[in-house]
Amino acid sequence: MSLRLPPSLMPNAGLPLLALAPMQYVTNLAFMRVVSHYGAPDYFFTEYFRVHENTRLDRHILSSITENDSGRPVFAQLIGHDPELLARTARALLAFPIAGIDLNLGCPAPKVYRKKVGGGLLSDPELVSEILAALREAVPSLLTVKMRIGFDSTEHLERLLELLDEHAVDLLSLHGRTVAEGYRSEVHYDVIARAVRSVGCPVLANGNVTSATRAVGVLAETGARGLMIGRHAVRNPWIFRHCRERFLGLPLTPVTLADVREYVQRLYAATSAGATNELSSVTYVKRYLNFLGPSVDPGGAFLHDMRRAGSEAELFAVCDRHLLRNGTDLFALEPYAGVVARPTIEAPRCTA
């Protein structure tokens, strides 16, 4: 099974597919450009366009389509519950250079699923069917779905997978946890494997793909056509390059703490462009450093000090202290056990 994309949009034909997971307020144009510098995925998915009666295409999100210079296909992700409005928004997006439309059926943020959108739709397969029918009629190109294995159980999973086939969905990105499990539980790769066997379209396995070594294991365990990686691509933007090296049996490109210091500088420059003041730039880049921290030191000292920085100078002094003191030391490709990103920082976003 393969996506109906022309060869020019299949840069690594024959290898497992790799995609950057859409993460609200994180995987914007700035981050897409940064991760592309270190090794772009095969596909990008935008932050979700919120669809409601008064929907206007968000210019900030639209820029990740119209100004994306990575050379990689970009899918426009939608979140909503009204079939007609979703179809109308999809038709509007077809005027832009997108690879296709992606439907969000997985966001686990309570403020989202309580509106019966994102992961909240997984308990209503018949509404999902109406939405997919409307989108399939409106979208002549690729129609993809990103979802979880269920809301609070896998009760409806088989029916949902049947609907993907009924409505000729072209690609499924499946996160191996329920909405209720959030990011706390182990990922149910066995359930992803079950979906791979039963659905007619290619499947990207999603959830806790921490490194290239883990990527190979997840592919073997699930039989998926590829992988979607989110938070661990923020922690380690070399991960897509490393995955391809591992797939080809090549040695992994070494990453030092000094390389990570350069990554932080690049992130700050990219995400602060156009910012109104220094504090907002510092606050914004901390969203990314929150993910980075678990691979800097086993005691979490970088995270502790970074969170207390109140200016650009203070932030980079922290980075210099932790990343340049022993800059030739290798960066930890797997996060250190027990060092976690602060949940309250992650709460407003949908991550994968």
Give the active site residues. Answer: 107
**Residues 149, 139 contacting (CB under 8 angstroms):** no
Residues contacting 248, CB < 8 A, separation 6+: 15
Give CA–CA dist 92/87, Å, rounded: 9
Residues contacting 59, CB < 8 A, separation 6+: none
Give CA–CA dist 231/343, Å, rounded: 13
B/e letters for 261-293, b = 16+ CB within 10 Å, e = fewer, are bebbebbbebbbeeeeeeeebbebbbbbbbbbb
Q: Do strands 226-229 and 17-20 pair parallel, antiparallel, or not at all (unpaired)?
A: parallel
Indicate the burial class of 47 (C-beta count within 10 angstroms; 0-12, 13-18, 19 or more). buried
Give CA–CA dist 319/262, Å, rounded: 10
Between the alpha carbon of residue 64 and those of residues 49, 70, 72, 278, the distances in Å are 12, 10, 11, 24
Q: Which residue, chain included where needed, has tokens 């072209």? A: 170
In the chain, the amino acid numbered 292 is: L
